[in-house]
Structure 1
Amino acid sequence: MAFDLRRTKILATLGPATDGPGVLDDLIRAGVNVVRLNFSHGDAAHHAKRVEHVRAAAERQGREVGILADLQGPKIRIEKFAEGKVALKAGQAFDLVCRADAAPGDSSRVGVSYLGLVNDVGVGDTLLLDDGLIALKVLKVAGDTIGTEVLTDGVLSDRKGLNRLGGGLSLGALTAQDREHIVIAAKLEVDFLAVSFCRSAADMDEARRLARAAGSDAALVAKIERAEAIDRLDEIAEASDALMVARGDLGVEIGDAELPGLQKKIIRTALEHNRVVITATQMLQSMVDNPIPTRAEVLDVANAVIDGTDAVMLSAETASGQYPVKAVEAMVRICLGAERQFDHDTDFEKAPRNLQAADQAIAMAGMFIAEHIRVRAIIALTESGGTCRYLSRFRSAAPIYGLSRHAGARRRMALMRDVYPVDFDSMGQSTREAARSAIKRLHDLGLLANGDRVLITSGDHMELHGATNTLRLLQVGTDGAAEGLGVL
């Protein structure tokens, strides 16, 4: 089993650039912890083949690698043009036609995929096309046609995205296609399911219900990319297992000037709710075509790490870029550099009060002890990985080793900051025997040395989810097992 003791995790999108012989092995060896399947492209057979290759490569590399399926969601797009693209000039009239049988577009009009758009916009609204590169001002709404004035010059091509500045579109988060893709994701046994354009907790509740009905135990990731999601951030966090700062569409809807502050707010909200958080979109965009990142990109990634994000994500950089492995290597270097800036003194005044679950209380107590007596490691014997998630919400100088017999739990832990999953089966052992075996396992892997002090969290009933209720302070003995310093 190989270990890369980097605190921040790296999520890489799969695509044509990762399909070549040996590329997946190189990516995982370079430091990828979770891969992303973009369900906006490809079919079920295509995704199944990539899942098979990821699992095989992870086994060859001795790594726990999670798989995230990213649902397309209700992405609003313009339809196709008769000539493939048109050149628009500021001041000209341009109509959006909300009709299923709209003719191929030209320089005066084009159809849109969301026929209800005509009911969601009004005179004076600003519509943004192609990630905000082209802006349109709504002048009138008549029947099935939205009459606009072009505000910015630009070339517009087929199937570009459309947003309303400020958000407010009424379409739901899950399309009929998304519902089909949830069933596909369940059959592929993915570890994470990302819900695009969620607006509220209800959207996440529906996705979870559909996933569980399909037999999936994937962790639910809420992609924050709608303006209205910002107003409901707390409820969305509570209904999710993780949040993603999806900066593309979010930046278009709220304006790029607001994006930096909102990114920090989303990260902070996730940590306050004990949720994992991913920062995504164009983090090393220049590396699609270049072998090194810009200084601005380095600072962007580093700031997300310093703010406390669990993971940073690569999209086109690995999916279709010329240098997918170099992009991962660059991300690793930046994360390690930023992590050296961490202040490891935990502010327990900001820790949550009135804890409802024993495993939360054990995690908080463990971090308090680790902060004050400086242990070498924190070891969580866990069934689901839940205790590790709570432990990882605190910054500590000690690494957290999540030991579980469940492959799915280990892969979900692969996305948690500071957590390193380890295959370990404590079935049939008492808590004392399991603690001794766990320490010996880590000692044999070279992760602990004789004389190291460690904290171990476990439950009286080792095979139950959410049963963590015990915290031990132990020392590694001369034989690599445990010597008691006391039971806490």
Structure 2
Amino acid sequence: MMLPDHKTKIVCTIGPSSSSEEVLRGLILKGMDIARLNFSHGELCHHRELVHRIRKISSEMGKIIAILVDLPGPKIRVGELVKEPLLLQQGETVVLTSSTELADESFIPIDYPKLTESVFPGSLIYINDGFLQLECLEVSGKNVKCKVIVGGELTSHKGVNLPGAGVFLEPVTEKDLLMIDFALDEGLDCFSISFIESADDVKKVREYAASKGKQVFLVAKIEREQAVQNIDGILLEADAIMIARGDLGVEIPIEDVPIVQKKIIHKANLLSIPVITATQMLESMTSNIRPTRAEATDVANAIVDGTDAVMLSAETAIGKYPQDTVEIMAKIAKQTEKWRSKSKTGIYQMKKAMSKMNLQIDDIIALQINEALQQLPIKYVLVPTASGETCRRVSRFRPDSWIIGLSRYPNTCNSLAFQYGVYPIFVEGTVTDWEHTAFEKLKEYGIYAPGELVIITQGQTAGHGKKGGTNLLKFIRLE
């Protein structure tokens, strides 16, 4: 096999367009690293079939594909319209209602019982990621009379945002917990948590999984203003971050989104926490064979910012060209990484930022590895790991060389699928000599190159999936 020609990870949302075995194989060949299952849609029995299918194909192809369960969270949505699509005309008056009994087909049902407690005259209400905008005129009983500011077609189940309003919903719902139970029973351990507001929301899921005797990898989705305000605490609790720009772009002023994205990515990079940049990255490819220039630039800018992964949503879930979309994403990543490597700006910025940190031994080792990579033609950095921590610390410098993460723990391998420039390899059974095992794995994967220089890290052994601490690195010329 050949290692990918790009190191940015690609997340693909799996849906009707991509659920067949043939298309899934194509997505993996083109560059998919993570398969996202959106539990807001579809039946659990269908998700079970997809899990089994993805595992079967990834095993046959010899590549670790992490499966990310995206929990629905407390998303406020339009209910079932009596007649759809409903055309909202700019300037007209419409009525939103939390009542389950509609007076007539012109009423718009909202699946949120406390709608009238969250809005007041003058409140703005955004529907479908802000493509439809309403202004509250009057609140009465269970009804909210609104003026249409930006109109268009409305269909059932579109998302509703109430920016600046108090929303009386728990970020982690009972439905989420039931879905976690299902996923854990299927052996899944990667979850993204929607609409979180603080670190406590992440902790709730972690503690719930722990009560079931499970360790989980948790991705905190940043899509509410409160989450942006509490980002430092969230970063200390979460295993990864997703910048979900769809809802975020209506929860905060849209002109603030690019800078918020940059700040969050930088904070996460410093802490070696993987970041996924999501929403509308190549949206036009849902129906077109090529993206817009602006979309290609958006993907490239996220990579320059330091994102570990880029995500495709509708593009691969319901789009006409799922495989072509992944191929384009990979090509953009390859060219952007090539430019960043020549400019060296990311390395200098990271070293400067780290000089102000309280560094640990693992950080010093990572710095030494980075220095060696700048001076010597090193093919791979081989990292035997229990937790994946050393891989993540080396990765934040965005090296040109692949970091090969070797682990006996499947959950660690899954987590490393999210990390820029890390290729995870599962090692079965007990290992007495990691150096020998690493070389054998390189041969097994067909990437052993005699005469090439490699680095291998070593450290004390820790328990299952726990940090052990790297305190040694070794240079070896492959024979």
**Aligned CA-pair RMSD:** 2.2
Which residue identity lines up with residue 46 of structure 1 in the other structure?
Answer: H
How big is the shift at 1:122? 2.3
Instruction: String of CA shifts for 1:250-293, please: whole Å, max 9, x gaps.
Output: 11222332222222222122212321100111111111112222
| 1:100-119 matches, cutoff 5 A | 101-103=100-102, 106-107=105-106, 109-119=107-117
2:454–2:478 CA contact under 8 A, matched in 1: no
2:378 is paired with a residue whose SS is coil
Instruction: Tell me which residue corresponds to 1:481.
Output: none
Instruction: Tell me which residue corresponds to 2:420.
Output: 417
2:219 is paired with a residue whose SS is strand
| 1:428-439 matches, cutoff 5 A | 428-429=431-432, 433-439=433-439
| 1:19-98 matches, cutoff 5 A | 19-98=19-98
How big is the shift at 1:59? 1.2
Instruction: Tell me which residue corresponds to 2:477.
Output: 476
Moved more, 420-429 or 201-210: 420-429
The 2-side partners of 1:58 and 1:225 are apart by: 31
| 1:259-278 matches, cutoff 5 A | 259-278=257-276
Instruction: String of CA shifts for 1:383-402, please: whole Å, max 9, x gaps.
Output: 12222122211222322110
Moved more, 269-278 or 447-456: 447-456
Identical amino acids, percent of aligned pairs: 37
Instruction: Tell me which residue corresponds to 1:483.
Output: none
- The reply on whether 1:399 has 2:397 as its aligned counterpart is no
1:394 is paired with a residue whose SS is coil
Instruction: Tell me which residue corresponds to 1:218.
Output: 216
1:126/1:307 Cα in 2 relative to 1: closer, same or farther (>3 Å)? same
The 2-side partners of 1:294 and 1:105 are apart by: 41
How big is the shift at 1:147? 2.5
Instruction: Tell me which residue corresponds to 1:484.
Output: none
Q: 1:389 aligns with which of 388, 392, 398?
A: 392
2:365–2:473 CA contact under 8 A, matched in 1: no
2:276–2:307 CA contact under 8 A, matched in 1: yes
Which residue identity lines up with residue 383 of structure 2 in the other structure?
Answer: A
Instruction: Tell me which residue corresponds to 2:230.
Output: 232
| 1:92-171 matches, cutoff 5 A | 92-99=92-99, 101-103=100-102, 106-107=105-106, 109-166=107-164, 168-171=166-169
2:98–2:110 CA contact under 8 A, matched in 1: yes
Instruction: Tell me which residue corresponds to 1:4.
Output: 4
1:167/1:268 Cα in 2 relative to 1: closer, same or farther (>3 Å)? farther
2:119–2:165 CA contact under 8 A, matched in 1: no
2:92–2:147 CA contact under 8 A, matched in 1: yes
Instruction: String of CA shifts for 1:282-330, please: whole Å, max 9, x gaps.
Output: 1111111122222221111111111111111111111111111111111
Question: What residue ranges of structure 2 are gaps of 5+ in the alignment?
Answer: none
How big is the shift at 1:56? 0.7
| Equivalent residues, number | 472
Question: What is the TM-score normalised by the length of structure 2?
Answer: 0.92
Instruction: Tell me which residue corresponds to 1:486.
Output: none
Instruction: Tell me which residue corresponds to 1:180.
Output: 178
2:339 is paired with a residue whose SS is coil
How big is the shift at 1:446? 4.5
1:341 is paired with a residue whose SS is helix
Instruction: String of CA shifts for 1:163-212, please: whole Å, max 9, x gaps.
Output: 12345423221122111111111112224200011111111111111222
Instruction: Tell me which residue corresponds to 1:306.
Output: 304
Question: What is the TM-score normalised by the length of structure 1?
Answer: 0.90
The 1-side partners of 2:166 and 2:371 are apart by: 44
